[in-house]
Amino acid sequence: MDQQADLRRPAKGRGATLNPKGRFEPQALEPFDDGWDSWPQALADDGPPRTTVSADCSRSVIARNDSPDIGFEQSINPYRGCEHGCVYCYARPSHAFLGLSPGLDFETKLFAKHDAARLLERELAAPGYVCKPIALGANTDPYQPIERRLEITRRILEVLARQRHPVTITTKSAAVLRDLDLLVPMAAEQLVQVAISVTTLAPDLARKLEPRAAAPHRRLQAVKALSDAGIPVSVLVAPIIPALNDHELETILAAAAEHGAWRAGYVLLRLPFEIKDLVADWLACHVPLKAERVLSLVRQCRAGRLNDSRFGHRMKGEGGYALMLGRRFAVARRRHALERAMPPLRTDRFAPPGAQLRLL
């Protein structure tokens, strides 16, 4: 490893090894060793990157999409950026719209929607609002570490529970169990489903891939607790990274079934624009002997490129390797009875805020 690569060793507790400029920024800063040993001293003086949280002043909170390969039309993201630090996160490029980097900035410079519950209540009360399930965690994790202090996700759930509005939650945090008092009654009325993402069962790999997310065994414990409480819960093997965690596919599904998961799904690694360089550098730092093999297999699944954004192809890939993954998944899912139908979410129970007052 050369001197510059040695100086740029990963920060403890952080996923990205780089902090490249956002795609819309006209200028970039690039550190280099000037021969006077100034770079090591500068790194020592700066210390590890710290997390900062700023207010997000969005005037609306429900985002809408019409993507044909995404199973929801409405979503809410309580936070921008995510402290979990998953190096592969497809949401990282969104930080470029804030003038920030998809690298370390994404996991250290966070934005919180403190008014999300109030804005949600206002939007649900709008005369033209049509009730459709809302997805929490579509972009960044609603139960990342700062949720413990800010409780924005909980306040959103309180509004949804009060108005009997259906919601789906996707997370890789066991912190979802803190809201069982809200989720259990909602599940009884078919108003909630939860998906837990499990990337690997290997603690060492998890600490490098997802440094501030819950440990794999804690996620499985959350699956069991949710299932035991009567909440429909599925497990997502996401993402599958060729030559890195793909060998764990069957093992993860077996563990999911053992802990009471109803269903399972998977997503193949996606490497859009900025993400490809972040992942390539992460591979070079953490698993240098596997780096070229991983990227080669990704290209085999993505028509010779590192990314294929076409609807219908981006989630599962194509080609021989992707086909083999799909068949392995189908066999393992059937073997472990992870094809249980989730109860449909009810929209007919929805009561808009202030509806009772309008009747008087």
The answer to whether residue 100 is domain-embedded is yes
Q: Is residue 237 part of a domain?
A: yes
Residue 33 placed within a domain = no
- Please count the CA atoms within 13 angstroms of the CA of 352 that sit on its side-chain side: 16
pLDDT: is 310 or 253 the higher one? Answer: 253
Burial class (CB in 10 A: 0-12, 13-18, 19+), 193: buried
Stronger pLDDT, 26 or 253, i.e. the higher one: 253
Residue 237 is given by DSSP the state E
Taking only the tens place, the pLDDT of each residue in 315-350 is 999 999 999 999 999 999 999 999 999 999 999 999
CA atoms of 204 and 215, how far apart (whole Å): 10
Does 196 map to a domain?
A: yes
What pLDDT does residue 3 have? 42
pLDDT at residue 242 tops 60:
yes
- Residue-wise pLDDT tens digits, 42-95: 555 566 789 999 999 999 999 999 888 888 999 999 999 999 999 999 999 999
In which domain, by residue range, is 198 found? 51-339
Domain count, the chain: 1
> Which of these, 235, 232, 155, 145, lies nearest to 188 by C-alpha position?
232
Residue 351 covered by a domain? no
pTM of the model: 0.90
- Is 360 a member of any domain? no
| pLDDT attached to residue 310 | 86
Evaluate if residue 5 carries a pLDDT over 50: no
For residue 130, tell me if it sits in a domain. yes
| pLDDT at residue 146 tops 60 | yes
Q: Would you say the C-alpha torsion 238, 242, 244, 249 has a positive or negative sign?
A: positive
Residue 63 forms part of a structural domain: yes
Q: What is the CATH number of the domain that holds 252?
A: 3.20.20.70
The whole-number average pLDDT for the span 148-156 is: 98
